[in-house]
Amino acid sequence: MKSASDKIMSEKLSIIYICIVFSLMGAASAASTSTAIIADGLKEFHSSKAGALSGTTNFEKDSLYKTIFMQSLVQYEEDLNHSSYILDEFVKKNITNSEAMMAASSLYELSSRTHELIYEEKPTPDYANYHNDTIHALSYLREYLWDMAKFYETNKINYALSARENFNDSLYYYGRARLALNKTNE
């Protein structure tokens, strides 16, 4: 028979678990919405290419590419923030290995979708470096999320070490992409 303190602790853990599930669902929903916004921007870009006047095509392309890439970096930032939240909750023992693995795997899937959408684009020369840096940032972010999901699943330190390298590389290319974006604004 459970004591009163065991019942209270069990109820508290149940409430915490429910809160975590809802917050992670919200994180996945928000990231999914951002991915949908990027996809909509790409659809708009492709539909506008067909009817664009030849004299304004490059200007329109540049403007749309800039919007799409800015949205992809916002998605990157959101995914990184959510992954940090998952890690923080895991370290604090507020979520289990399995819950952390599922959450990181969901972010991996969403990040992969953003990567696919951006990878398929062929930007104008003015945005080529920005495009490449964005692709690299997203690629390393995906690898980081994969390694973290594997770490949560297995508790093997080699995944955490690999994740750290991918995280640092991802931030490096993210910084380059942001710098390139700032140069296009000048």
The domain limits of the chain are 4-185
Secondary structure of 20-33 as H, E, C letters:
HHHHHHHHHHHHHH
Which residue, among 70, 69, 75, 97, has the nearest Cα to 141 in the 3D structure? 75
The yes-or-no verdict on residue 109 having pLDDT over 50 is: yes
DSSP state string for 75-144: HHHHHHHHHHHHHHHHHTTSS-HHHHHHHHHHHHHHHHHHHHHHHT----GGGHHHHHHHHHHHHHHHHH
User: Model-level pTM?
Assistant: 0.69
Q: Would you state the pLDDT for residue 4?
A: 54
For the stretch 32-82, pLDDT in tens is 555 555 555 555 544 444 344 344 466 666 777 788 888 888 999 999 999
Q: What is the pLDDT of residue 14?
A: 46
